[in-house]
Structure 1
Amino acid sequence: MSKTCQYFFAAHSPWAYLGHERLIAMAHKHGVAIEVKPCDLGKVFGVSGGLPLAKRAPQRQAYRLVELARWSEYLGIPLKPQPPFFPVAPDLANKMIVAARQAHGTEAALALAGAIMRALWAEDKNIADQATLAQVATMAGMDAAALLAVAQTASVLAEYESNTDDANAASVFGSPWYVLDGESFWGQDRLDFLERAMRK
């Protein structure tokens, strides 16, 4: 019986970006399905006691930049710790990923998510901008106009809100967050533990 890994994340999360392709590769390697669940991290923080970046203590903000640079170098993944369009509202980008899943399936949603995160963290693009998201979707081989239309539907909004409710029910408090066989793993730096669980 194949396993399924729930993948909770937000499109503006640098940590999700750093772990995204590795998650996909290990899931493929071990025959694990990924359930793509972009969620409203602001609402998750509201329940779990998390703080948006601007409200965190200066020493926490400073160390975050050190860690982003450190992980980017270690993994060989291009990332600008202070991109020009951050902080950024991620809701439309998250809904675009949900729309891609509904219209084209999980693989398409994962591909679009990776492209959107790369656009923000490596390509100096504003992922809150509709035209920018359309460009990213087009480059990913999708019909951007159709995808943007789907992203505005009640069906996508319902799934997005359901993902957020599921995140809170699973005691999620950060992005990325992986759940496999009821066991939670927080952060891309826990992917080694997640892969061990995939092998069982």
Structure 2
Amino acid sequence: MAVIDYYLFPLSPFTYLAGLRLEEVAARHNAKINYKPFDLMRVFAAHGTPPVPKRHESRQAYRLQELARIAKMNGMPINPRPAHWPTDPKPAVAAVIYAQEFSHEHPGGDVGKLSFNLLKACWAEEKDISHESVVEKCLEDAGFDGGIAQRDLQSAFDIFERNTDEALASNVFGAPTYIVDHEVYWGQDRLAYLDAHLTRGEA
């Protein structure tokens, strides 16, 4: 079985715009997804990538155009300037980490749907994913106990930091990033390449 390490950041608009296409690709190839929320800001700092507000105005303008284009192409709603961005990503991070860890206790739970719910809440629903009530609703809508993210938050944050260390060691520099068979695929627009790679592996 192929294993896809999925490095995601719950405040990344391009991760949101991937929708649930990774999950569709994985299902077609019977591949397993390891969800790895990581600290994109720490990775940016390590690679010398300025955060969005500090980028040249031409890059900031192009980013807004791209978000609108990609959303339209995929039929997805988006507010390129959401009301609650940036915000503290850690409550959402803890939710994804614990949902994956305790998914065996919630057979109806869907970690992919949870991750997308959190991203959609920020980028399409004008909700603040640092708020406990928002995170709980995202968990419940994905089939999990809404209180799951409150289990030993420090342990979740330790995993968050470890995921970030692994991202840096694996040459991850942006989100979303997918790694399979040591091949790195950066960006929601590379999912077709990932799909093709998995197809070749089945030949």
The 3 A distance-change label for structure 1 pair 87 and 42 is same
Note the C-alpha offset of 1:151: 5.5
**Offset at residue 90 of structure 1 (A):** 1.2
Write out the 4+ residue segments of structure 1 that deviate beyond 3 Å after TM superposition: none
Q: Could you say which residue in structure 2 is the equivalent of 1:141?
A: 143
User: What CA deviation, in whole Å up to 9, does each residue of 1:100-159 have, x standing for no partner?
Assistant: 1111159632221111011111111001112221222223332212x13226142x2222
Q: Aligned residue pairs: how many?
A: 197
Deviates most, 188-197 or 128-137: 128-137
For 1:192, the equivalent position in structure 2 comes to: 192
Counterpart residue number, 2:15: 16
Change (3 A) 1:199 1:125: same
User: What is the alpha-carbon distance in structure 1 between the residues aligned to residue 22 and residue 165 of structure 2?
Assistant: 23
Matched residue, 2:124: 122
1:83-94 paired onto structure 2 within 5 Å: 83-94=82-93
Query: Letter of the aligned partner of 1:96 in structure 2?
Result: A
Runs (5+) with no aligned partner, structure 1: none
**Aligned-residue offset at 1:171:** 0.9
Deviations 1:30-81 (A, max 9, x none): 1111111010111111212222111111111111010000000001112111
**Larger mean Cα displacement after TM superposition, 156-165 or 170-179:** 156-165
- Select the structure that is richer in helix: 1
Which stretches in structure 2 are left out of the alignment for 5+ residues?
none
Aligned with 2:80: secondary structure? coil
Could you tell me how far apart the structure 2 residues matched to 1:59 and 1:128 are?
30
Q: Give the TM-score normalised by structure 2.
A: 0.91
Question: Secondary structure in 1 aligned to 2:20?
Answer: helix
Aligned equivalents of 1:89, 1:60: Cα separation in 2? 24
